[in-house]
Structure 1
Amino acid sequence: MSDDPRRVYGTDRGEDPRPQPGRTYQELTGGPLDGQLLDVTGWDENALADGAALITEAGAYGPGGRALYGPAPGDSGRWEWEGDTP
């Protein structure tokens, strides 16, 4: 178990929301998911380069909307918010 206070995106109620040993994470910066971690364990280089559209109720489009995150230039451990989409 980690002492890292950041929450992992997508953890369910009752699950430990902290990062787990042996997993790989991207830190999400900016936008509605700022400060959360995305578990990218097992993602290939192409998927990591593409980024992700993550479901969030806190974005511009409300429930069911998605926040777009992509690689931060020069920082392989961080993805930056690129905007919201329905």
Structure 2
Amino acid sequence: MAQKAFPSVKAQEEEEELVDPQQMLRDECSAQKKCVTLQEKLTECNDRVNSRSRTAEICNEELFDYLHCVDACVSKRLFSFLK
């Protein structure tokens, strides 16, 4: 009598979870002294704006300064991660 063949399935090796190099670099760059200082200014501005019920002040300048600092830092190293 012929033996029935059952398909065998081998467990795949666990692959490492992919890490976005841009996010990793953003985390590193946001911890740099220059960027931390700009983040503190942004936080102070946000706190000041949120503490008032009526204000025309917005924190765009502080936000853009902070993002520019982080992005400038990230852009120096990001493309070295591309294959």
Q: Which protein has the larger Cα radius of gyration, Structure 1 or Structure 2?
A: 2
Indicate the structure with greater strand content. Answer: 1
- Structure number with the bigger relative contact order (C-alpha 8 A, sep ≥ 6) is 2
**Pairwise TM-score range, normalised by the shorter structure:** under 0.3
Q: Could you state the TM-score of these two structures normalised by the residue count of structure 2? A: 0.22
Indicate the structure with greater helix content. Answer: 2
Q: Could you state the TM-score of these two structures normalised by the residue count of structure 1? A: 0.22
